[in-house]
Chains A and B, each alone.
Chain A
Amino acid sequence: MFLRLVADSFSRRPRHKLLTGAALALGMAVATAAISVSLDVGDRLAREFRSLGANLVVTPKADSLPLEIGGVDYRPVNAGAYLPESDLPKLRTIFWRNNIVAFAPVLELTASIFTAPDSTTHSSEAANVRLIGTWAGLPMYSSDGTTFTTGIDRTNPWFQVQGRWFAPDAGTLKRVNVFPPDLPPGASAGHTFVPVPDECVVGANLAKRLSLRTGDHIYTADRSTAEMQNYFGRPNLPCTVTGILSAGAAEDDAVLMPLASAQRLARAKVGEYRKLYVSVLTKPEDDFGRRDPKTLAPADYDRWYCTPYISSIALQISQVLPGADVRVIRRVADGEGAILTRVRTLLWLVTFASLLAAALAVGASSAASVIERRTEIGLMKALGAGSGTVGFLLVAEQLLLALLGGGLGYSLGILLARLVGQKIFGAAPEFSFLVLAVIIGLAAVVTLLGSAIPLRRASRYEPAPILRGE
């Protein structure tokens, strides 16, 4: 009989139930969308903040003091210490490896740049140009079959290149398999190494000064100095300009080339780099994150180590790179932390406000729906139903409505969240069952709270006056 009464209530006034359900569904849809976007927005924004560039810098511990003005190091190339490039793949083994967005090693030197190999009238020259050897779009293959592409184009996304970056393997020797028909006389089948032509990217200001265009060649020595340079073991390095870099910083006056080429130019620096920029996704540092890890109790230390604070990731990196000094670039990291914390708080408050609005509106409409059933309640009571039975019936109806409306609202809200996420971040937020549970729960609580006050009053109704229509 109970079920029949509930079913009857739904079938007898379908339009009315539909309206209350629709209000509920819409309210919950907005709540779902707000929660999903808020849950997701932290990660998305953190990723967005990586467009500010690297937040960690690694330098050799034993380094001499850099004499850097305007981004140019005035130390001689041979002064100071270096770090081995072969350690870099270990970065992909740290606990928070998946939070590493990109990294790029840098080896810098200064050299003169010529636009022609010999001193003809067409050759123009720029002295003391900063040459930056680094990676760009370099794929790293790991044992689990995934590829991680990294380089300065990822750590410094504001770098704009007209043309293209140098090829990741430019300036190296490529291993080529050799088969019998192509074999030089006397060689057996196997493989050989073929040098890949050198390529480089020239800063916009420098390109303007030397009137260089994509496809031109530059040389690091002309014929008169080349001989002397060769004597000192510093080869002339002709490279093809593949792109013009606009960086909005000191790099506009520099030449960027593959790390391998720079290592060859900087004599005896094979496999070494001077500075490493790492861009990592972090959790903004809170009071716990700022504590000195040495003073933490073991359990707290584990918690600190397993939280992606910038300081704990810095520690993990220094553990895999021996002899390296990992420093946090405070300008980027602290600014990011401060803004991210504020924005997150702001969004949660906004979400809370919209939840509140949804709750009040849904509560109001479910209250209205109970109020208007006075006559029905009067009739039930006249037929001998106790207040408890009537209340139970109405609550069951409301809960059923909440379940249906909440479920529908959730699906609508997910669509809405996808729309908003797609529009703002170009990516939809991830689906989460937690949100579904929260939404259904919220719908139930809100409808119950909304109907509680009128239900209490309804339980006090005297049937007779209501049935008389008073």
Chain B
Amino acid sequence: MPDRKMFWRIIRRIFASNRARLFVILLALGAGAAVTAALLNLQVDAKRRLTTEFRAFGPNVVLVPKNSPSADSRTLPESASRSVPAHLPTGEVRVSAALYLIADVSVPSSGKATSAVIGGSNPSAFVTAFPRSSNYTEPNHSAENVCVLGARVARQLNAQQDAELILSASNRRESCHVASFRETGGPEDDRVEISLPAAQRLADLPSRISAIELRVPGTPAAIQSYVADLQRRIPEADVRPIRQFTEGEAKIYDRISGILSATVALVLVLTSLCVMAAMTNVAMERRNDVGLMKAIGGATRRVLRLFLAEAALLGLTGGVLGAAIGIVLSMWLGKAVFGIAARPRLIVYPVTVALTIIVAIAGAYPLRRLANIRPASVFRGEA
């Protein structure tokens, strides 16, 4: 079809005629697409990543025996901790079961003794509960009889690393070696952490625990539905989200995702406006061309179609190039911010390209004015 052939020939000529201008428009479109792709990708990823970051606050859900959270005798069966669903689509739930009791602690080497709270937890809790506590070295898990000493207990007992501790409650005794110390500013500072079986022997409460602490990843809404589900599964326990953290996190999460969304929207608007401005300049420059086309019988619609095709092509090229750069950029940004490269989301790519094409065509809106050009006045050189 000769008509179509001519159409593409003209398009080719348009592109070839002014390389500098082509470059400028492609740059504007490409930069817009790159930033849009990077921000969209980062936004999807950052929101997910943030909920993971919130786990730095430690446990956010706690299971305690029903009706009497403070009673010392009430306990839960240890099996309850195994019926906690650990796999969520958003990540792993960290479960740690603990048994607390009060016992006498003495250090044979320094001869000091005091009463202290003994926290028996399954070994992983040493590591998981407060990953960021300072002065913390990971205990050696090979031996069961190691313990982690809270800073204030250590000061009171004047205990050194690797010292032997004697724990006694009623007539039962356990001994352990101090593996490390920790200072958290919380009740852990006043505790001696030992392994769960040792605490159960000491308290004479085999396979009983006094609390289960959970670190549940996910958005505030997801945590809430998880808590409701858990309460149905384990009716004998009282499942409570730790409001101090769940509520604070929800607030902060809303703020941050609000800022990200607002910034993405702003950048999108900005890009489309700037492309529009660039296109207007193009339109002015094209007065002669359009005048000529009209003078030799070109219908306004066909002339416009020509320019719209040009805009769409520019949008496509700019979008494809820009989005690719943007996704790479977002991976780098993710690495810079969260230490892990943002996972590229395939959906972002077509969305960005489509957005760029739409922006380019919308930006071509000023070309509409070309329809009003009267060939004669152009040729006379009138402005």
Contacts and interface: CB of A to CB of B under 8 A. Distances in A.
B8 interface: no
A453 B20 CA distance: 10
Interface in B259-278: 259-260, 262-263, 266-267, 269-271, 273-278
B20 A335 contact: no
Interface residues of A, number: 87
B341 to A, nearest CB: 14
Interface in B109-136: 114-117, 130, 132-134
Contacts of B271: 357, 361
A337 to B, nearest CB: 9
Nearest to B59: A331
B interface, size bucket: 35 or more
A354 B277 contact: no
B206 to A, nearest CB: 19
B244 to A, nearest CB: 5
Contacts of A425: 255
B244 A333 contact: no
B89 interface: no
A259 interface: no
Interface in A27-49: 27, 30, 33-34, 37, 41, 44-45, 48-49
Contacts of A333: 185
Contacts of B42: 346, 350
Interface in B186-235: 186-187, 189-190, 210-211
B248 A70 contact: no
A349 B333 contact: yes
B375 interface: no
Give the one of A252, A328, A334 with max B CB within 10 A: A334
B57 A371 contact: no
A338 B57 CA distance: 10
Contact of B53 (A22, A156, A339, A367): A339
B161 to A, nearest CB: 19
B364 interface: no
Contact of A33 (B35, B190, B266, B282): B266
Given A354-B263, A357-B35, A362 B274 contact: yes
B21 A371 contact: yes
A250 B69 contact: yes
B224 to A, nearest CB: 12
B266 A360 contact: no
A334 B245 CA distance: 13
Contact of B270 (A30, A64, A253): A30
Contacts of B178: none
Contact of A248 (B67, B242, B338): B242
Interface stretch (B26-34, B298-306, B308-316, B344-352): B26-34
Contact of B50 (A33, A130, A156, A339): A339
Contacts of A416: 266
Interface in B235-261: 240-248, 251-252, 255-256, 258-260
A64 B67 CA distance: 30
A361 B251 contact: no
Contact of A249 (B25, B38, B134, B243): B243
A357 B270 contact: yes
Contacts of B53: 338-339, 342
A468 to B, nearest CB: 14
Contact of B56 (A338, A345, A362, A371): A338
B280 interface: yes
Contacts of A329: 184-186
Interface string B133-162: 110000000000000000011001000000
Interface string A58-69: 000000111111
A253 B256 contact: no
B361 interface: no
A358 B270 contact: yes
Given A16-B284, A51-B247, A69-B102, A27 B274 contact: yes
Given A68-B117, A365-B28, A26 B337 contact: no
B174 interface: no
Contact of B252 (A65, A209, A339): A339
A343 B46 CA distance: 9
A425 B278 CA distance: 35
B277 A70 contact: no
Closest 4 pairs (CB-CB, A-B):
A248-B243, A361-B274, A23-B277, A360-B31
7 contacts: A34-B263, A328-B185, A333-B185, A357-B270, A358-B274, A364-B24, A420-B262
Interface of B: 18, 20-21, 24-25, 27-28, 31-32, 34-35, 38-39, 42, 46, 50, 53-54, 56-58, 64, 67, 69-70, 72, 100, 102, 114-117, 130, 132-134, 152-153, 156, 183-187, 189-190, 210-211, 240-248, 251-252, 255-256, 258-260, 262-263, 266-267, 269-271, 273-278, 280-282, 284-285, 329, 333, 336-338, 383
